[in-house]
Amino acid sequence: MIRTPILQQTHFLIAQEDPLQSPDLLRLKEKECLSMLQRCKSSEEFKQAHAQFLKLGLDGDPRRSGSLVAACALSDWGNMDYACSIFRRIEEPGIFEYNTIIRGHVKDMDSQAALLLYRKMLERGIEPDNFTYPSLLKACSYLSAQEEGIQIHGHVFKFGFESDLFVQNSLINMYGKCGEVKHSIRVFKKMDGRSEASWSSLIASHSRLGLWSECLRLFGDMSSEGCWRANESTLVSVLSSCTHLGALDLGRCTHVSLLRNISRLNVILETSLIDMYVKCGSLEKGFSIFHKMHNKNQLSYSVMISGLAIHGRGKEALSVFSDMLEEGLEPDAVIYVSLLSACSHAGLVSEGRECFTRMRLEHHIEPTIQHYGCMIDLLGRAGLLNEAYELIKSMPMEPNDVVWRCLLSACRVHQNLELAEIAGEKLFQLDPHNASDYVLLSNIYAKAHQWEDMARMRKDLAQKALAQTPGFSTVEVKRKVHKFVSQDKSHPDCDAVYEMIHQMQWQLRFEGYIPDTSQVLLDVNEEEKQQRLSVHSQKLAIAFALIHKSQGSTIRIVKNLRMCSDCHTYTKLISKIFERKIIVRDRNRFHHFQDGNCSCRDYW
Ligand code: ZN
Ligand code: ZN
């Protein structure tokens, strides 16, 4: 269809004022005028055409004004001020006009205006319909306004829309975004028929709160209820659940289902896949998806660089970073944190220094406390303790506990008592309840044979009754994630696991393993210490995997804490004795154990 330019149409419309025009012709022109208004591509075009519309006196019919409000409020070029001015001219706006303006405000991210208008509408005695609530609930979720949300939920009941599918889905979403997952579940359970969107909203509610196992369980339920075609956002939630839990097999299945259901993966899904593979320990697979990606954005680079960093592949992280610059993408502060930590994990001191300078001079990013933390870690690991301390003193912000802890750990590795005491003192002021700091310092004293100081640390610890965060490890066997807590006997297979631990212990002794009991804090005898050490969660998870996973398959473990030095030695030996590749993700990084060695080269 050939579009008539606005100006020509204007002449045409003015001509209509001639009283000799026949009613048929008038109707035709009226139609022309309306369709012209609907075809507008900008708010300026719309205003011009609307002026003609008014000139022709076509605004008498409220329904017609309603569609004008809709065009002006909901189009991509929408102009809410103008839409409101048309709305105000309508003598008796009905529910359609109100819904439109409410939707327009929500689209414009002006949630307050939407809620205000809703109240005015009720005051004027206009009854809402099922189209009113999805927008209003969205407004509440933008505001994280739980109170308002609950009130509106009350109205949903009052006006009888509690069984409407769209309203129910919006309620699940709203409660999820306000962090009230219990209410989301309540609405979900009461539903008679659930759509894909209902599942998707419920899964998103859980993933927002980091309830990863629940997400996967719900995804399983969704599939078993015959809802196979999950939408992209659900699949992103599922992938990030796999990522957090280290559930590689489940992640692979999700990947297969993606390839089956979606013809072309978008950049968000591909990036989630890379993140999943990398953080589940399959760096190569993540890297290969990354290489094949057509449209990499800043986030894809960021995910890949941080993945390489936690696997200790510093040089490759730097080379991906140069590719990114070559593609003309600007790095941000987050990418620099990953780069610096990549240099730190790989011991690339001069490269790290260069990055630290470059971020300020070339990319004008002022270092945050995280960047300083990485630099101190980098220098500390490399044994440049004085330089690290000087850097702390020169920081423009107050150093936090993380910074001092980096220095303290470095002091343990390089045995520097003087700086260790300074770092320890700062730590006990900043975070007096962290048991592992006391242990770290007491170990440094023990190595220096300062037994009295060591005893003082342990006494402090006992007096403050500080408990260490319970350590846990998860391992995936046959697509199910199993969780083991240190010394815990709650796992249904625990008898077999403890029997396996016993057998492993014997074989390790032949290899010359001596338990490193220096990390056991409790004042108990040596035998008891060894006993406690032998049931650290990581060892339980390895035992379980050795029983259940086929010969030759890789064992992948995720744990919440930093690996203790005993578990590190133990796992190295197990990888040799049982000829298994064992990959452990601890709080800081990945360790790939094979043939008695670890990829971190004992530098973690
Ligand atoms: Zn351990
Ligand atoms: Zn290691």
CA of 394 to the centre of ligand 2 (A): 32
- Long-range CB pairs of 441-448 (<8 Å, 24+ gap) are 441/408, 443/412, 443/518, 443/519, 444/411, 444/412, 444/415, 444/417, 444/420, 445/417, 446/518, 447/412, 447/415, 448/415, 448/417
582 by DSSP, 3-state: which? strand
CA of 597 to the centre of ligand 2 (A): 8
CA of 568 to the centre of ligand 2 (A): 6
pLDDT of residue 229: 73
pLDDT of residue 540: 95
Please report how the helices 232-245 and 248-261 are oriented relative to each other, as an axis angle in degrees rounded to 10. Answer: 160
How far apart (Å, rounded) are the C-alpha atoms in residues 218 and 206? 9
How far apart (Å, rounded) are the C-alpha atoms in residues 423 and 418? 9
Beta-strand relationship, 597-598 and 590-594: antiparallel
CB contact at 8 A, 588 and 562? yes
CA of 419 to the centre of ligand 2 (A): 25
CB within 8 Å of 348: residues ≥ 6 apart = 314, 315, 318, 342, 378
What per-residue string of b and e applies to 167-176 under the rule 16 or more CB within 10 Å gives b? bbbbbbbbbb
CA of 471 to the centre of ligand 1 (A): 9
Beta-strand relationship, 555-559 and 582-585: parallel
CA 105 distance to own-chain centroid: 28
CA of 567 to the centre of ligand 1 (A): 4
Length of the chain: 604
CA of 572 to the centre of ligand 2 (A): 8
Q: Which ligand is nearest to the CA of 567?
A: 1
CA of 226 to the centre of ligand 2 (A): 43
The series of mean pLDDT values per 10 residues for the chain, 604 residues long, is 40 44 73 78 86 78 80 87 89 91 92 93 93 93 87 93 93 93 94 90 92 90 78 88 90 87 86 95 95 93 95 95 95 95 93 96 95 96 95 96 93 92 94 85 86 86 74 90 88 90 92 82 75 91 94 92 91 95 92 93 75
- Hey, what are 499's tokens? 């029997």
CA of 533 to the centre of ligand 2 (A): 18
CA of 225 to the centre of ligand 1 (A): 41
Please report how the helices 401-414 and 417-430 are oriented relative to each other, as an axis angle in degrees rounded to 10. Answer: 150
CA of 241 to the centre of ligand 2 (A): 25
CA of 411 to the centre of ligand 2 (A): 19
Helical spans, DSSP H, in 328-449: 333-346, 349-361, 369-381, 385-394, 401-414, 417-430, 435-447
pLDDT of residue 1: 38
Q: Smallest Cα–Cα separation from 73: which of 65, 81, 64? A: 81
φ and ψ at residue 41, rounded to 5 degrees: -110, -5
- Hey, what are 550's tokens? 């086929």
CA of 538 to the centre of ligand 1 (A): 7
CA of 173 to the centre of ligand 1 (A): 41
- According to the 3-state scheme, what is the secondary structure of 172-188? HHHHHHCCCHHHHHHHH
Q: Which ligand is nearest to the CA of 562?
A: 1
> What is the identity of the amino acid at 111?
S
How far apart (Å, rounded) are the C-alpha atoms in residues 599 and 234? 35
Q: Which ligand is nearest to the CA of 583?
A: 2
Q: Which residue has the tokens 């969205």?
A: 138
CA of 561 to the centre of ligand 1 (A): 9
Q: Where are the domains of the chain?
A: 484-598
Q: Which ligand is nearest to the CA of 473?
A: 1
> What is the identity of the amino acid at 133?
Y
pLDDT of residue 521: 62
Predicted structure pTM score? 0.77
484 by DSSP, 3-state: which? strand
pLDDT of residue 7: 38
Q: Which ligand is nearest to the CA of 586?
A: 2
CA of 583 to the centre of ligand 2 (A): 9
CA of 240 to the centre of ligand 2 (A): 25
CB contact at 8 A, 37 and 86? no
pLDDT of residue 402: 92
pLDDT of residue 227: 67
